[in-house]
């Protein structure tokens, strides 16, 4: 095998609780990560020169700070058999949006390299490597819904094959994850009930209304432009969404719909006002 193609699937957080700040500076969380059909495209090719080449449609990430390059370096330090690679990365997932785009790219790259170079890494070994590269990389190694705890590295898989329809809006603002955690640390939280168990049950029972009724994200209170987020959620509701939520540390907001027809109608109504995407959950 000389090359491999892989989809790096975006995610939304159906629930996201920020529990506490750890001594190492990270935060313990509990969150349901839901993989999506929305994805970036990666092609990884073996090349003769012992170097890493990146060809991407987003120039600002074409540097050695890119998380995919860091993943290549981590693997190459461990395996002498790894030669040079050329990575062609077509970004489709918005960045700094709470959709896990960079983490998904990193996770997909690790999975692809494991196959391309026949490294024989187990999922636990891939998770250990991914954990050191970024907090969201580990849950992005899975192409279906999972519960992520700890710093995102403690995974419980959810036994579901439920697919449902989602529309995503990317506001004009972007969010820096580090800054959002800092804002949350400074705020006095009034703890609301988080329905993680209810969402897990709903995923298993194919109950989209119960999922929508129990969406939860601690970061919504730390969003500076909360008026914009609230307005987008109101527009989702007016266009038939069963429920809506900001994902991750922002700024994207997603709406969950009962059927494809209603989701398409909402997408058509909103796409000229906002940067809008339509997709389905992935629970293969």
Q: Which residues are identified as catalytic?
A: 11, 136
Residues 6 or more apart whose Cβ sits within 8 Å of residue 260: 165
Nearest to 54 by CA among 39, 69, 35: 69
Helix residue ranges, H only, 13-122 = 67-78, 101-116
Find the helix packing angle between 101-116 and 67-78, rounded to 10°.
30
Residues 6 or more apart whose Cβ sits within 8 Å of residue 222: 180, 183, 184, 187, 249
Q: Which run of H or E residues covers position 50? A: none
Location of structure tokens 């730390």: 222
Find the helix packing angle between 101-116 and 123-133, rounded to 10°.
140
In angstroms, the CA 236 to CA 238 distance is 5
User: What letter does residue 206 receive in the DSSP assignment?
Assistant: T
SS3 content of the chain, % helix, strand, coil (to 5): 35, 30, 35
In angstroms, the CA 248 to CA 218 distance is 9
Nearest to 83 by CA among 49, 120, 130: 49
Question: If DSSP codes are grouped into helix, strand and coil, which group holds residue 272?
Answer: coil
Both structure tokens of 9: 């699937």
């Amino acid at each position: 095998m000389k090359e491999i193609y892989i989809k790096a699937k975006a995610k939304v957080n159906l629930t996201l609780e920020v529990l506490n700040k750890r001594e190492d500076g990270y935060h313990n969380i509990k969150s349901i990560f839901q993989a999506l059909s929305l994805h970036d495209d990666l092609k990884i090719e073996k090349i003769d020169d012992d170097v890493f080449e990146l060809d991407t449609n987003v120039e600002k990430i074409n540097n050695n700070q890119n998380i995919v390059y860091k993943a290549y370096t981590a693997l190459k330090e461990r395996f002498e058999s790894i030669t040079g690679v050329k990575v062609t990365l077509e970004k489709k997932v918005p960045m700094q949006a709470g959709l896990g785009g960079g983490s998904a790219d990193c996770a997909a790259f690790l999975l692809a390299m494991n196959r391309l170079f026949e490294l024989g890494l187990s999922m636990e070994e891939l998770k250990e490597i991914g954990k050191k590269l970024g907090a969201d990389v580990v849950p992005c190694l899975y192409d279906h819904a999972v519960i992520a705890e700890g710093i995102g590295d403690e995974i419980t898989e959810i036994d579901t094959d439920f697919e449902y329809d989602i529309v995503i809006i990317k506001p004009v603002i972007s969010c820096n994850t580090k800054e959002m955690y800092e804002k949350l640390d400074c705020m006095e939280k009034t703890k609301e009930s988080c329905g993680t168990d209810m969402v897990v049950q709903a995923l298993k029972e194919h109950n989209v209304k119960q999922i929508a009724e129990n969406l939860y994200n601690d970061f919504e209170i730390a969003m500076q432009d909360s008026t914009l987020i609230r307005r987008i959620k109101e527009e989702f509701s007016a266009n038939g969404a069963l429920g809506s939520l900001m994902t991750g540390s922002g700024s994207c907001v997603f709406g969950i719909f009962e059927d494809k027809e209603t989701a398409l109608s909402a997408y058509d109504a909103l796409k000229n006002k906002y940067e809008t995407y339509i997709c389905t959950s992935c629970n293969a």
